[in-house]
Structure 1
Amino acid sequence: MSTLFSIRTLFILIIIAVIAIIAFFILPVSIPIIIALITAMFLEPLVRLLQARAKLQRNLSVFIVFLLFLTSIGIVGYFLTTKVITEGINLVENAPSYINEVNRVWRDFQSDMNNASEDLPPEFVTEISMQVDKFLYELRIYLTDLFNIQNIKSIFTNIPNYLVSFIVYLIALFLFLLDMPRLKAGLYSHLKEETAAKVKFMSSRLSYVVFGFFKAQFLVSVIIFFASLIGLLFISPELALLMAFIIWVIDFIPIIGSIVILGPWAIFHFITGDIGLGTQLSILAVVLLVIRRTVEPKVMGSHIGLSPLATLIAMYLGLKLLGILGFIVGPLLLIAFNSAREAGIIKMNFKI
């Protein structure tokens, strides 16, 4: 019978909607466990490969893979932490000189404005002065709120929570790796043979696409990181690694981009009179933007099969509904829907 939705499809959609509503409230407090499950899915092929090649039992293979993963996190974390903290200290130590430079430029600007305003109407000069004072006052209030002691205190007071979440993540990851075959068997035991075959196809397709999604994001972020690092080594070697790391973190969020860091940085040097450095930073910002806009659609399309428009919409809706986590969850839900449709679990063949 040709209908827009069959009863079975409608039932599946209702179940998906209920799961989505429940997930909307559970996801924000389950981030460590969810990330652990996703990480376990990525590490599962390595466990199976080690079992097949080295003829080891699963428990030993899981322990080796988990230990290698933990060692990698430790090495990368130590390197980034020590380097970022070192360059951050240098930045803080040089902050007074930056502030003095801004004050000098501001005094020169006021002197130039006073000389230029001698031939201007008093009302115009008064209005300009009021707007400049208003801007500086709002900027001071914003910076005071941003760097007040309460915000800094909240960061340090949340460190135990972050540590607990990280420990929960590691424990959950290890347990997921151990129980992955049993979890899959338990899931398939509740399905009919035909449905189980479709779910297996969907899961294999979903695993491939999800891996491609994260691989694509990682490849793009690596390109951005090294491009910014190479550029900054020529522009500002003393801050190269710190700023490249910050740009990499910010640029991983597609809607924001590296311009958020490089733009104000370039404007600061333009204001302080260092036109050359400001121009170099502006060129680097444009280069990074061109690289992302050129590379990202091709990498995404080749690895996950989603158009850039569909990826952008999924990320934006995920951001609005789930916050930062939605940048990842949004495209994953779209990928899961497409995989279910390819597997025949969801059928939406209709014409109007």
Structure 2
Amino acid sequence: MIRTLTKRHWTLIFIAVLLILFIIFILPVSIPLIVAFFTALLLNPTIRLLQRKTKISRKVAVSIIFLLFLLLVGIAGTFIVTKAVTQVVNFAEEVPSHFNQLNDMYEEWENDLQQYTNNLPPEFVKQISDSIEENLTALSNTAKEKITLDNIAEIFSKVPQYLISFIVYLIALFLFMLELPLLKAKMYNLLTKETAEKVSFMNRRLADVLLGFLKAQFLVSLLILAVSLIGLFLITPEVAIMMSLIIWIVDLIPIIGSIIILGPWALFLLLAGDTALGIQLAVLAIILLAVRRIVEPKVMGQHIGLSPLATLIAMFIGLKLLGLLGFILGPLLFIAFNSAKEAGIIKWNTKI
């Protein structure tokens, strides 16, 4: 069988091995560079548009777009980080009092339960009561140990590491934005004319689909933001704006969605005794979930022709293999594969 392999087969095997080694060893430590490259691709149409409208050089256009992007990220990051730190610190300080409230609720519940268990064996009732009390005590102790100001400070002590990665990301982003035309020209010089035409078609198709995907996600997320903002203003206006922004950001991730914020929030309020507010938040979570499930398929179909199921599968597999970066790379690789098939680069007509 080995003798039947041609030079082309050996080349493909060698490339596949290199790709696997790259994914295993290089990709995990290259996340800032990879994210910078894809960000540059997303910003490149804006750079070209600015060049066409103002007739300025690419270097000047790149500098303007980069500064605007930096300003936007800085404003959003400052607002989100400031609010998040304040909320996390307040939550950590209030955790013991919340669990004391739960213990008081348990004692009241235990007294009420005794009225309905008079006819049951005392040993059985005592065993259940002790088991519940042990679980609540263990949960309270675990939360008090994990959610402390010291642990939060330890998390924030890693900020310098993230800051270095962010600086590398910004530098790489600026250089990629400058060098994209040169990188594209060098890549096409390595290809034959026929292959270059196929790759060019695939790139155009990939750019259109990617832009449509981002546009569809953004449009759906705006609807989620509007519904959550209206709902929270009616339910709890004190934190409506902040929590709506958090829900909006989290809801951009299809696998997670707004339920990851509203679900625990509603459950905690129900356990703390605020039944009315907990039920209202649970209803809002169901409404947001229904809105996304109804609107998303239609919007996705109109903009990219990629079904939500395929998007979900690609993001889930990407998450398992590459972590959070897989949320972006998973659908991109799926779209790139389909584009390569349409361009004729990948020929797969196997039938069973």
TM-score (norm 2): 0.88
Matched letter for residue 300 of structure 2: M
Give the equivalent residue in structure 2 for 1:43.
Answer: 43
- Partner Cα distance (1:151, 1:256) in 2: 25
* Residue 25 of structure 1, CA deviation: 2.7
- Partner Cα distance (2:131, 2:10) in 1: 59
TM-score (norm 1): 0.88
Matched letter for residue 174 of structure 1: F
Give the equivalent residue in structure 2 for 1:246.
Answer: 246
Q: What CA RMSD, in Å, does the superposition of the two structures yield over aligned residues? A: 2.7
Give the equivalent residue in structure 2 for 1:133.
Answer: 133
Note if contact 2:229-2:240 (Cα within 8 Å) is conserved in structure 1.
yes
1:1-352 pair list within 5 angstroms: 15=15, 18-85=18-85, 98-99=98-99, 101-144=101-144, 146-148=146-148, 151-352=151-352
Q: Which has the higher contact order (CA 8 A, sep 6+)?
A: 1
The range that moved more, 89-98 or 188-197, is 89-98
Note if contact 1:84-1:241 (Cα within 8 Å) is conserved in structure 2.
no
Equivalenced residue count is 347
Q: 1:221 to 1:145 in 2, by over 3 A?
A: farther
- Partner Cα distance (2:232, 2:341) in 1: 46
CA distances 1:32-90 after superposition (whole Å, capped 9, x unpaired): 11111111111111111111110101111111111111111122223333444455566
Note if contact 1:84-1:242 (Cα within 8 Å) is conserved in structure 2.
no
* Residue 122 of structure 1, CA deviation: 1.5
Note if contact 2:341-2:347 (Cα within 8 Å) is conserved in structure 1.
yes
The range that moved more, 285-294 or 85-94, is 85-94
- Partner Cα distance (1:169, 1:137) in 2: 45
* Residue 342 of structure 1, CA deviation: 0.5
- Partner Cα distance (1:337, 1:17) in 2: 19
- Partner Cα distance (2:158, 2:81) in 1: 18
CA distances 1:93-124 after superposition (whole Å, capped 9, x unpaired): 76666455434323321221233333322232
Structure 2 gap ranges (5+): 1-5
Matched letter for residue 342 of structure 1: E
- Partner Cα distance (2:250, 2:86) in 1: 20
Q: 1:16 to 1:50 in 2, by over 3 A?
A: farther
* Residue 152 of structure 1, CA deviation: 2.4
Note if contact 1:250-1:258 (Cα within 8 Å) is conserved in structure 2.
yes
- Partner Cα distance (2:93, 2:241) in 1: 17
Structure 1 gap ranges (5+): 1-5
CA distances 1:8-36 after superposition (whole Å, capped 9, x unpaired): 69965873564244123322211111111
* Residue 127 of structure 1, CA deviation: 2.9
* Residue 91 of structure 1, CA deviation: 5.2
Q: 1:69 to 1:292 in 2, by over 3 A?
A: same
Q: 1:103 to 1:351 in 2, by over 3 A?
A: closer
Q: 1:251 to 1:338 in 2, by over 3 A?
A: same
Give the equivalent residue in structure 2 for 1:3.
Answer: none
Q: 1:149 to 1:200 in 2, by over 3 A?
A: same
Q: 1:305 to 1:9 in 2, by over 3 A?
A: farther
Give the match's secondary structure for 1:119.
Answer: coil
Q: 1:27 to 1:303 in 2, by over 3 A?
A: farther
- Partner Cα distance (1:80, 1:149) in 2: 19
Note if contact 1:24-1:322 (Cα within 8 Å) is conserved in structure 2.
no
Note if contact 1:83-1:241 (Cα within 8 Å) is conserved in structure 2.
no
Give the match's secondary structure for 2:262.
Answer: helix
Give the match's secondary structure for 1:345.
Answer: coil
Note if contact 2:92-2:147 (Cα within 8 Å) is conserved in structure 1.
no
CA distances 1:176-216 after superposition (whole Å, capped 9, x unpaired): 11111100000000000110011011011111112222333
* Residue 150 of structure 1, CA deviation: 6.3
Q: 1:213 to 1:17 in 2, by over 3 A?
A: farther
